[in-house]
Amino acid sequence: MLYKKNQSKTLDMKLFENPTSEYRGAPFWAWNCKVTPDLITRQIGYLKEMGFGGYHIHSRTGMDVPYLSDEFMSLIRHCADEAKRTHTLAWLYDEDRWPSGAAGGLVTKTPRYRQRFLRITLRDLTADLKPKAEAVEAGEPFFFHAYDIVLNDAGELESYRMISPDEEAIGTKWFTYCEATGKSGWYNNQTYVDTLSKPAIDKFIETTHETYKKTVGDEFDGCVPAIFTDEPQFTHKGTLAFAKSTADVTLPWTPELDTLYEKRYGAKIEDTLPELFWEKPNGEISRPRYLYHDFICQLFTEAFADNCGKWCEKNGISMTGHMMAEDSLHSQTACLGEAMRSYRNFQIPGIDMLCDGHNYATAKQAQSAVHQYGREGMLSELYGVTDWDYDFRGHKHQGDWQAALGVTVRVPHLAWMSMYGEAKRDYPASIFYQSPWYKEYPYIENHFARLNTALTRGRPKVDIAVIHPVESYWLHWGPSENTGSIRSQIEGNFSNVVDWLLFAQLDFDFISESLLPEQYVGADGGELEVGKMKYKVAVVPGLETMRKTTLDILEKFKAAGGTVIFMGDCPKYVDAVVSDDVKPFYSQCESIQFSRDELIGALDDFRRVEIRNQSGNLANRYIYNYRRDTDCDWIFICHCRPVSNVGYHAPERLVIKIVGEFTPVIWDTLTGKTEIADYRVEDGKTIINYVMNAFDSILLRLMPYNEAAKPAEKPQMKLIGSYIERHTLPYSLDEPNAMLIDSAEFRVDSESLTADGEWLPEEEMLRLNNRAAQLAGLPAYNGAQPWVEPPEVLCHYVDLRVVFESEIEYEARISRSKTPSSARSY
């Protein structure tokens, strides 16, 4: 348990003022150099000085200690010992770089564990291939089946049949092969792992998790709270761009897939395989396509997330991290099948939100699983790729809206151990001692730590459930010219429903149809009980197909007095089979057009919070997180949209209405102080007046209503005008200014810097490196880690020329040499 202090009956004010390490962020600490115990000790001090509660020990590009070796594990042990000494937390990371599963290539040295995919192609390679059993052991391709494909004028399947490789085809002959991915320097000259194979992931757990257990297992659930998994995925699903294209297409596969599929469904996948690639005629959907997507997702979930999560549960450590590409219906279908299914065995489910993104569906999917499985927290890898000029306003805004959507463990991306070599270009900025503001960072960390002391307590209060539409999206995974438009429409509807509800302060949870049968508890009293949650209303958002299990549960919920709302047309399919089974139920329920206003109107009776601006309109830039604690309720309200025109953003006067009679107390997360809000109680609602600035947020403790508890009198002030004063302030530098040189002109193997020779055009450093290698007759850098490949003997030289323009005199130091301001180039 991470938040052991939450077992107290009430939040201790002293804990709120000075939160302990578990409530604080823990950045990716990039081990990207030759790591030593002294370096670890010194940098843990920096991390604590910044207000962080710990660190994720993350092997990154440049790491020069053999991964999972005795030397590496002694450093991990040193981290755990330092964590105990400094009262911080050492979070583990399960991979050398990412994605998780290959253990830095140690697992996939065994060929049968390598990632696989199915390729459909016009090429006949059958004469050169080994039999399946030999090919699997050797990590080589094997032949699956050949097909005679006949398409109509619209590019739809007119007919298809399985044929032998040498048989004549009436239409076009297509061949299918199960192949292994090629070796790559990114995986240290090995490959990614077969994440559809439980034996392969068993080997990953044996190699990684068991090794960590031997070294620091005595600190599991202590100073070593969790192990982070990063972007596990299967081979990305492809589609044809045009139905009559002759291009190859690949889909995720594993050698035993056909056998496992037949065992589960009683049908042979090879009999209907072409339906995975082409559309059936006349708009008919393919049930085999639907079953394939569901089955691949299930194989992946059971092999990876379930497998790792159950090991963690058994061994007393939390599994955390995030999946690959959770954000859209398209991306999760392509890489995971369905994101929510993987969360069921995470002890601390997580997401990533890089590049200052605002993908609310990503967070809402994970938050829904956290709510339904009763997990104690939710993690986010955030701030990555925001560059050096991303300031505290961005850090607070990103952290705020994610906290409102459930995030309690912030993992700032990234804290570089070193800036040596390629490390300095690893998704900047470095949120660490290299940034000039690092000593001021406790201002941000204290805010979120205080917020977490409240938002990790009690239980969430959410009344609205929305059936997740990903399975309807699967139906249309075909050639883009035939299916791209309908997929785009489903994607847009999905995004719109999320935005419409959140921005109207109608908080909700998603329900995964695949998880619902195991989560369903009952529907007594007209409440749909799903795991640890109870919902008063369920929304069916334009589904084309729904599971029979979902339909049965919603019918029970409606019969018990619950409310079911259908958006758009009645679903045509049940379990991807044409059916009228939904029609009678659809006619009994409320049905609305697929529109924002109708959705908001239909759910108004289930509203718990309403926020309006001074014009009386719904303030559609705020979201909230509502928790019910043992002695009070908590509500956190913040901005959810990117802030434009930051320097000219006027304060916004808000009227916040909360259902119930309370005395609201502001718990100021920036100062650690409290004060009663400006409020009144009317008609069973608590009405709060509050002025919100561009990056403000507010945490309210809602105590039982006490008429005598009133806010302190404040002088009434009226804004009669505004004036923005701009002038410079005195400052001094703690250290010399430094500028990272990102690009330069260059030449290779010139006799000297002063020799004549053609300078090649300016290029970015990483691209320059590969181009220079090419000119020198060397292979391009392949990405393998220093611990894998021995140091090279330098036999070629590269000259760089950088041109600066300056209107003032300066003195620069480059490579410890002084350069006068009169220098023309260097």
For 393-446, the pLDDT digits (tens) are 999 999 999 999 999 999 999 999 999 988 999 999 999 999 999 999 999 999
Q: Give the per-residue pLDDT at 815.
A: 59
Measured CA to CA, the distance from residue 364 to residue 405 in angstroms comes to 6
What confidence category does residue 127 fall into, taking pLDDT thresholds of 50, 70 and 90? Answer: very high
The residues near 569 (Cβ < 8 Å, ≥ 6 apart) are 542
Closest CA to 66 of 109, 96, 89, 23: 96
| 706 has a pLDDT exceeding 50 | yes
Q: Give the per-residue pLDDT at 752.
A: 62
Q: Give the per-residue pLDDT at 497.
A: 99
Q: Give the per-residue pLDDT at 736.
A: 82
Measured CA to CA, the distance from residue 737 to residue 696 in angstroms comes to 32
Q: Which two tokens stand for residue 713?
A: 């009198």
Q: Which two tokens stand for residue 249?
A: 């297409």
697 strand-pairing partners: 638
Measured CA to CA, the distance from residue 42 to residue 86 in angstroms comes to 12
Is the Cβ–Cβ distance between 22 and 15 less than 8 Å? no
Return the percentage of the chain with pLDDT > 70, whole number: 96
Measured CA to CA, the distance from residue 205 to residue 68 in angstroms comes to 12
Q: Which of 44-48, 236-240, 645-649 has the lowest mean pLDDT?
A: 645-649
| 824 has a pLDDT exceeding 70 | no
Domain residue limits, the chain? 4-101+208-233+341-457, 111-194+235-294, 464-606, 609-704, 743-820
Average pLDDT of every residue of the chain: 95
Please compute Rg for the chain using Cα positions. Answer: 29
| 783 has a pLDDT exceeding 70 | yes
Measured CA to CA, the distance from residue 554 to residue 538 in angstroms comes to 8
Q: Give the per-residue pLDDT at 415.
A: 99
Q: Which two tokens stand for residue 504?
A: 């109207």
Most confident of 301-305, 742-746, 772-776: 301-305
Q: What is the pLDDT of residues 482-528, one digit of tens each?
A: 999 999 999 999 999 999 999 999 999 999 999 999 999 999 999 99
| 810 has a pLDDT exceeding 80 | no
| 577 has a pLDDT exceeding 80 | yes
733-771 exposure pattern, b = at least 16 Cβ within 10 A, e = fewer: eeeeeeeeeeebbbbbebeeeeeeeeebeebebeebbeb
Q: Give the per-residue pLDDT at 266.
A: 97
Q: Give the per-residue pLDDT at 825.
A: 42
The CATH number that domain 4-101+208-233+341-457 falls under is 3.20.20
Q: Give the per-residue pLDDT at 816.
A: 52
CATH class of 609-704: mainly beta
H-helix segments, 343-479: 360-373, 392-404, 442-455, 470-474
Q: What is the mean pLDDT of residues 748-755?
A: 72
Q: Give the per-residue pLDDT at 385.
A: 96
Largest CA distance in the chain: 91
Q: Which of 197-211, 345-359, 697-711 has the lowest mean pLDDT?
A: 697-711
> Are domains 4-101+208-233+341-457 and 609-704 of this chain identical in fold?
no
Q: What is the DSSP letter of 758?
A: P
What confidence category does residue 724 fall into, taking pLDDT thresholds of 50, 70 and 90? Answer: confident
What dihedral do alpha carbons 38, 44, 50, 52 form, nearest 10°? 170
Q: Which two tokens stand for residue 113?
A: 């564990």
| 778 has a pLDDT exceeding 80 | yes
Q: Give the per-residue pLDDT at 597.
A: 98
The sign of the CA dihedral 567, 573, 575, 576 is negative
Q: Give the per-residue pLDDT at 258.
A: 98
What confidence category does residue 726 fall into, taking pLDDT thresholds of 50, 70 and 90? Answer: confident
Q: What is the mean pLDDT of residues 68-95?
A: 99
Task: Output the CA–CA distances (angstroms, integers) from residue 104 to 189, 190, 660, 790, 796, in the order listed.
Answer: 9, 8, 54, 16, 30
Q: What is the pLDDT of residues 612-643, one digit of tens each?
A: 999 999 999 999 999 999 999 999 999 999 98
| 823 has a pLDDT exceeding 50 | no
Q: What is the DSSP letter of 305?
A: I
Q: Give the per-residue pLDDT at 683.
A: 96
Pairing of strands 116-121, 249-252: antiparallel
Is the Cβ–Cβ distance between 402 and 366 less than 8 Å? no
Q: Give the per-residue pLDDT at 807.
A: 85
Return the percentage of the chain with pLDDT > 90, whole number: 88
| 585 has a pLDDT exceeding 50 | yes
Measured CA to CA, the distance from residue 408 to residue 350 in angstroms comes to 10
Q: Is 592 helix (H, G, I), strand (E, B) or coil?
A: strand
pTM of the predicted model over 0.85: yes
Q: What is the pLDDT of residues 647-665, one digit of tens each?
A: 667 889 999 999 999 999 9
Measured CA to CA, the distance from residue 736 to residue 361 in angstroms comes to 44
What dihedral do alpha carbons 493, 494, 496, 501 form, nearest 10°? 130
Measured CA to CA, the distance from residue 70 to residue 83 in angstroms comes to 20
